[in-house]
Structure formats: C-alpha cells, structure tokens
C-alpha cells in the first residue's frame, strides 16, 4: 500500500474528553486512552506533524525513521482546531451539501486517489461526505441489476472479479465477498439506500440499514462461538 505520509510528532491537548461508562472497568492507561473505573478519558490531538517522504515514495524508503523528527523540511503540520473550524466553515458534504457539525462530521473520503485537500484555505475540501451520505452515495453508484446472474458487465469476465460496470445502469459491481448472509445483507441494504433520492438523507432508512448489519454481525459471532464451542 503506497503512502508517503507518516506521523513524526503528535502534540495532544492538555485537557481530555470525558465519557461516563455504564459499568466500572479495571484501571487501564493506554497512550491517549485512559479508563479510571467508570470514567473514560481521551486526549485528542492538538497538532500532528507529518513527515512526507521525498519524491512521493513510500514512508521509510528514503528517510530513516530515526530522522523523521529532524527533517523539518519534510514536515507538514496538521493543526486540529484550525482544521475543525475550516471544515465547519467551508467544507460541505459532496452528497447532500450539508455542513460539518459536531456529531455529524463531514469527514469520510472516497478512498485512495480521491482529493480532499482544498486548493485554497477558504474552499471546501473535495470529495468528503457525512458517514451516512457516503454509504448512500456508494449505493447509488452500485449496480444491483440481475444479482443472481452477476450482472451484465461491460468489463470483467466472471462473477468473482470485483471490477466492471453494468451495461444497463452503469453502476459498479456489488461486492460478492464474505459469507452468503453478508452478501445477502449487502444486497438488501444497497437496495434500501438506493431508494433515497439523489442528494438526500433519510435517518429512518439508514437506521434500518445499521440495524440489519448489526443483526448480521451478531448472528455471525454467535455462529463462530457455536463452531468453536
């Protein structure tokens, strides 16, 4: 996996986020995460210093890890408070056009090859969505034609190949990896999300989708426990 970026220095803010737990847990101090009885503490990042490998090479292939903290000329600073403000003030969801808010952030990218860095500081970041909007957008780009037959594909030669676009709707092939139950759940939830109109959100539908996936995962865990029992 190609990635020229690696964290060289992480500066965390001096005051933590505090969350009350429903049950008391043993004392655990793990980096930025602390658990003290029924209280969970987390120290978010304040400034992250990224080391960018020269020539867009993979991290560690040109500069030694021991030199990352010294190569100031290879640094890129990520100031989290400023990033949060810019995202709230300027970034809009690529699907619904909505603002990034606390608890409903516009921070889900479109994967490798997407561009989320703005050309100017006052411009919206490109290709970012709310979490649910990202799922809806992906569903609208997915083909569900002739699922049993694998779809009338323009490219790709077998139902096992993950690429190809449908000759009928132009959508991408639906993922066929995983158990039969997971594949069936994926097909059902994709169809549900595709019913949401273009550029819209529907909390009721996304709640149903989340419930279906939660039930599928719970059933899979029970099956695994029974197999190992």
pLDDT score for 117: 54
- Name the phi and psi angles at 23, rounded to 5: -130, 150
Residue range 207-225, pLDDT digits in tens: 999 999 999 999 888 877 6
pLDDT score for 3: 83
Look at the pTM and tell me if it is higher than 0.85: no
| Opening angle at CA 218, ends 139 and 176, nearest 5 | 40
Reading the block at residue 70, the tokens are 């010294």
Q: Sorting pLDDT into bands at 50, 70 and 90, what band is 147?
A: low
pLDDT score for 84: 86
Whether 60 shows a pLDDT value over 50: the answer reads yes
| Opening angle at CA 176, ends 173 and 179, nearest 5 | 160
Residue range 82-91, pLDDT digits in tens: 988 988 999 9
Whether 111 shows a pLDDT value over 70: the answer reads no
Report the alpha-carbon distance of residue 197 to residue 31 in Å, rounded.
43
Q: Sorting pLDDT into bands at 50, 70 and 90, what band is 165?
A: confident
Domain segments of the chain as ranges = 1-85
Query: What one-character DSSP code corresponds to residue 229?
Result: -
* Residue whose token pair is 């995202």: 87
């Amino acid at each position: 996996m190609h990635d020229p970026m690696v964290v060289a220095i992480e500066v965390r803010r001096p005051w933590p986020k505090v969350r009350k737990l429903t049950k008391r847990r043993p004392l655990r101090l793990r980096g930025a995460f602390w658990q003290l009885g029924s209280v969970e503490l987390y120290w978010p990042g304040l400034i992250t210093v990224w080391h960018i490998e020269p020539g867009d090479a993979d991290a560690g292939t040109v500069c030694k890890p021991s030199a990352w903290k010294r190569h100031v000329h290879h640094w890129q600073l990520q100031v989290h408070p400023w990033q949060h403000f810019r995202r709230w003030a300027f970034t809009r969801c690529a699907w619904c056009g909505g603002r990034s808010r606390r608890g409903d952030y516009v921070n889900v990218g479109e994967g490798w090859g997407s561009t989320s860095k703005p050309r100017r500081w006052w411009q919206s970041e490109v290709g970012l969505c709310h979490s649910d909007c990202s799922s809806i957008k992906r569903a609208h780009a997915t083909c569900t034609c002739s699922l049993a037959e694998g779809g009338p594909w323009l490219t790709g030669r077998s139902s096992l190949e993950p690429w190809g676009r449908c000759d009928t709707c132009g959508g991408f092939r639906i993922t066929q990896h995983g158990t039969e139950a997971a594949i069936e759940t994926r097909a059902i939830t994709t169809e549900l999300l595709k019913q949401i109109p273009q550029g819209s959100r529907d909390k009721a539908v996304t709640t149903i989708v989340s419930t279906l996936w939660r039930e599928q995962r719970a059933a899979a865990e029970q099956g695994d426990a029974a197999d190992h029992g």
